[in-house]
Structure 1
């Protein structure tokens, strides 16, 4: 496993896309205070704004699984301006991890103050 990924939405345990992480190694949880969580309807999105914290699960993944996550999150490193999410490094208590940040505007009323979706 080469990469750490911090997930906060449908990839978390018990949610609809978690099966993609079945072969990943669960490292632990954390609360990220450098991002703010928003309710986008069927899934959440995080923006790089300070908050009381967003609860994440951290997994170790290989290159192939990271590429699958990129496709799920509609992230294309060659076309970041049109990607739905951007993949950025954040510091977690488990080390540097990738997190997918929403790449569209949101309304402030959509904010999830608890940091848990």
Structure 2
């Protein structure tokens, strides 16, 4: 069974981790108003906090690709408190998709008001 994933940072087309999605099916873009985006330096992080929207790309991925994304995002399902990102399901125009939510404080990071990284 395939899974949907919504990405907003280095996994988007043209960015340096997009190769991990080369075998995935691109479904399209959306804007998720349930998220707020932060600039973490080399990559962004999103929190579950309402905003004017974060621009995402939605993909259909296999379980194997999802596991590769979990490794990249340091999502540890058996130790969520140690995870860099948590994986949450959010509604998109393409269906409910897994989205990686930053799991660290953001007080010292700039909010990305445009929602586009």
Q: Secondary structure at the match of 1:81?
A: helix
Provide the rounded CA distance (Å) in 2 between the counterparts of 1:16 and 1:30: 21
The equivalent residue for 2:24 is 24
Q: Secondary structure at the match of 2:70?
A: helix
Task: Tell me the TM-score normalised to structure 1 length.
Answer: 0.98
How big is the alpha-carbon RMSD for the aligned residues of Structure 1 and Structure 2?
A: 1.0
Provide the rounded CA distance (Å) in 2 between the counterparts of 1:104 and 1:50: 18
Structure 1 residue 107 displacement after superposition:
1.9
* Residues 47-90 of structure 1: CA deviation (Å, up to 9, x unaligned): 00000000000000001000000000000100000100000000
The equivalent residue for 1:81 is 81
Task: Tell me the TM-score normalised to structure 2 length.
Answer: 0.98
The equivalent residue for 2:42 is 42
Structure 1 residue 93 displacement after superposition:
0.6
The equivalent residue for 2:53 is 53
Structure 2 residues without counterparts, runs of 5 or longer: none
Q: Secondary structure at the match of 1:56?
A: strand
Structure 1 residue 106 displacement after superposition:
0.2
Structure 1 residue 14 displacement after superposition:
0.5
TM superposition outliers: structure 1 runs of 4+ over 3 Å = none
Query: Contact (CA 8 Å) 2:36, 2:50: kept in 1 or not?
Result: yes
Provide the rounded CA distance (Å) in 1 between the counterparts of 2:63 and 2:85: 18
Provide the rounded CA distance (Å) in 1 between the counterparts of 2:88 and 2:70: 12
